[in-house]
Amino acid sequence: MPGKAMLSRTTDSSFELDREEIFDLLMNARQADWVELEMVNGQKLSGAIIFNEFKGTGRLINIDDEISVDFRVDDISSVKL
C-alpha cells in the first residue's frame, strides 16, 4: 500500500522487531497525522502520538473518540503509519 508503513513483532515469524526498532518507528510516527498502535496485549489504538525519546514513553490521543492513553515502548508490538 503506497504511503503506508507497518512493522510488527510476531512470535510465529522469523522476523521480530526489537525494542530499538519499535523505538525508531515511534520516533517517525511523531510526525504522522494518524498512527495505529497494536499493544502487546492485543489492544489496537489509533490517533496521534506524542513520544518522549528520553524516557521511552508516550501518549496516544484520539480526539474523535475522546481518548488519551499512555504507553511505553515495551507495550507496543506494531506501529502503522
In a domain, 26, yes or no: no
Report yes or no on 55 lying in a domain: yes
pLDDT at residue number 71: 97
Q: Which domain holds residue 60?
A: 33-81
- What is the pLDDT, as a whole number, of residue 16? 56
Please tell me the pTM assigned to this model.
0.77
pLDDT at 53 (0 to 100): 93
pLDDT truncated to tens, each residue of the chain (81 aa)?
334 444 444 444 434 578 899 999 999 999 999 999 999 999 999 999 999 999 999 999 999 999 999 999 999 999 999
Residue 53 resides in a domain? yes
CATH number (domain holding residue 61): 2.30.30.100
Asked if the structure places residue 25 within a domain, the reply is no
Q: Please state the domain count of the chain.
A: 1
Query: How high is the pLDDT of residue 17?
Result: 72
Residue 74 lies in a domain: yes
Distance CA 48, CA 14 (A): 30
Residue 41 near residue 77 (C-beta atoms within 8 A): no
